[in-house]
Every structure is written in C-alpha cells, then in structure tokens.
Copies of this chain bind each other. A is one copy, B any other.
Amino acid sequence: MVNQQATLKVIAEQLKISITTVSKALKGYSDVSEKTRKAVIDLAKELQYTPNSFAVNLRTKESKTIGLIIPEVVHHFFSNVINGIIAEAEKNGYLVITLQSNESLELEKKQVDLLINKRVDGIIMSLSNQSNFDSHIKSIINNGIPLVLFDKISKLVNCSKVLIDDQKAAFDAVEHLISKGCKKIAHIRGPINPQNAIDRFLGYKKALEKNNIPFDSKLVYTCTNVTFEEGKQFAKEIIEQHPEVDGIFVITDLVAVGVLAYFNEIQIKVPQQIKIIGFSNWFMSQVITPKLSTVDQPSLEMGEQSFNLLLEEMVHKKNKTAFVPRTVLLKTSVIERDSTQNN
C-alpha cells in the first residue's frame, strides 16, 4: 500500500480551504482561527505531512547538505575521517553526500561538477593521487561554495585545510629507527603527486641529514597504488638489491603489513634483522606478528575539525561576513611496538 505524499494542496482540498490558509495555519500565523488551525494540524499529522524540502531549499537557498569527495571508502584512515565528518554534520543538522574518486582525477572533476550542480552548501575533499592540476578545485571557490581540504591537499588552492605536519611526523619516525640503531634506512614512499607523500619523503631525508647518514636515492621505492601487494614486492626488491638495509620507513601501514608478510614468508626476522615503521596506525597493525610500530594520526579528529571549519565558513557566507581560510595542524605521535625493538 503506497500513499501519495501529503502536500499543502491535498490538505487544502480535503478541508475545503485555501492553500495559503493551510500554510499560515502550519506556521502558526494569528490570522487563522483556532478551529481551522487545529483541523489543519490534525490532518497534517494524519497524512504524515512533511514540508517539501526542495521548496524549503528554494526559499532559504540552503540545502543543509554538504558534499564529501575522498579517494577511497574501504580504507582505515578515510573511513575514520568519514565517521568524524558525518557525526559532526549530523549534530549540526547537515546531511553528507559521499563520493569516491577511486584516485581518478577525471572522476574527481565530474564529482565536483555534480556537487556544484546540486548546490550543496559546502564541500570537503581529500585529493586523488592523480590531482596535480587544480582548476576544478578552484571552480568550487569561484562558485562561492565553502571548501575544506584535508590530508591530501593542494598548496596552491586558497581554502581552509586540516592537516598533520607530515614532514615532522616522518622525521620523527625515521629518528625513531635511528635511535634503535638503524644505519641504512630505506623508504617506501607514496606516489609522486600528493603533497603528503612529498612531505613524508622530505622528512625522511631531513632525519638522515641531521644524523649524518648519507642520502641514497636508490634506497627510495615509489608506490603507484599504495597496496599490500606493493609492500610485498618492494620488500623483495630491497632485500635482493640492498641486503645491507637494516630499517624501512613505509608510507602507510597497509604497505608496511605487506613488507612484514613477505619477510615472514622468507623467514627474515623483524626486528632482529631489519626494523620496520609504518604510518597511520591502522587497527590491524596492533594484531599482526610482530606488532607494527607506526605514526598515529588523529583521523576521527581530522574529520570533525574539517566539518567544523566548513561550518564556520558556511555561517559566514550566510551572514555575508568575511571569512579568511585557516589551516589546522593536528598532532601526531610515534607508536613504538615490536617491529622496531632493539636486538
């Protein structure tokens, strides 16, 4: 049994009064008699009347909806960020449309157009690895839509950003390896474009430099897809090409778990023969053997702060007051587990 949705018109027809009177009655205007008001409200309840949100939107020019574009949903870090965003959005009466770019610049562009077309009140994004080009992101700003970038950002876009200090976090991770006695440290880095992969690489380099360890570009391996399988593959290459390596700093835990899996297979002992540190503190890092040392980044908080920064800008826009984009830097910390213990 499917009922048609109740409208002001249906209520007006059934009560034989004008649509204007129904509308006034529902809004509690005083020029509607108490009797009529009651009749309208009773019928509205009975018919489960809800105000047509499109009509409301047209009037207020707000959609109370924001868009979120991220590279991947099935990903420990991003799913935690989504969690933070939709929880804060809900508290503040906003709905979140989630889109997944699958690390494709082309798809990301299409999704930006979709959201602009949909007239969302604001957009939160983490860029795809292909995004070395940002005119589609600038078009969000040119359309007057509040924008927050997090994690994978473009330095060239003038909008609010929520980040960790990737360079410092990576520096700390590599200094941790050095403090445990590592002297020949390889780096499995992220793809070429993302700013955070660049910054982590720079942090690695800086830590070597500060500790008088010569940088060797042959010890840097570059992920394309940032997968478990790439971790296994690079572990194999490292051990075959550079058996003297005694420590590896890996761009993210998923890839580091691939490295551990390969070393387990060929019975290379971690941490005795080689020490490993990951990045991001995925849940599985604490349940594998050996437990993986890593860098913790506050993903839930990153989502919450991203929404709150967007909300601030949306409120300014509504009130027609000026808003200056801000960058929020969140704290990270090295989590020491079994994979970097002293011999």
Contacts and interface: CB of A to CB of B under 8 A. Distances in A.
Interface string A276-298: 00000001100111000000000
A50 interface: yes
B99 A98 contact: no
Interface string A52-66: 111101100001010
A62 to B, nearest CB: 10
Given A79-B74, A119-B5, A58 B50 contact: no
Query: Interface centre among A5, A54, A65, A288, by most B CB within 10 Å?
Result: A54
A142 B287 contact: no
Nearest to A74: B79
A236 interface: no
Contacts of A58: 52, 54-55, 58
Q: Count identical subunits in the complex.
A: 2
A21 interface: no
Contacts of A100: 83, 86-87
A314 interface: no
Nearest to A89: B99
Interface string A88-116: 00100001111110000000000100101
A41 interface: no
A264 interface: yes
Interface string A37-75: 000000000001011111101100001010000000111
Contacts of A142: 1-3, 48
Contact of A82 (B73, B97, B139, B228): B73
A96 B90 CA distance: 15
Given A53-B117, A97-B65, A144-B5, A284 B289 contact: no
Contacts of A5: 119, 143-144
A158 to B, nearest CB: 10
A33 B284 CA distance: 66
Contacts of A4: 144
A80 B287 CA distance: 21
Interface in A98-151: 98-100, 111, 114, 116-119, 139, 141-144
A310 interface: no
Contacts of A144: 2-5
A202 B57 CA distance: 49
A67 to B, nearest CB: 8
A223 interface: no
A51 B117 contact: yes
Contact of A54 (B79, B111, B119, B283): B119
A283 B258 CA distance: 12
A302 interface: no
A335 interface: no
A86 B74 contact: no
Contacts of A257: 287
19 contacts: A4-B144, A5-B143, A48-B142, A50-B116, A50-B117, A52-B58, A53-B117, A53-B119, A54-B63, A55-B58, A58-B58, A73-B79, A73-B86, A74-B82, A90-B99, A97-B98, A98-B98, A283-B284, A288-B289
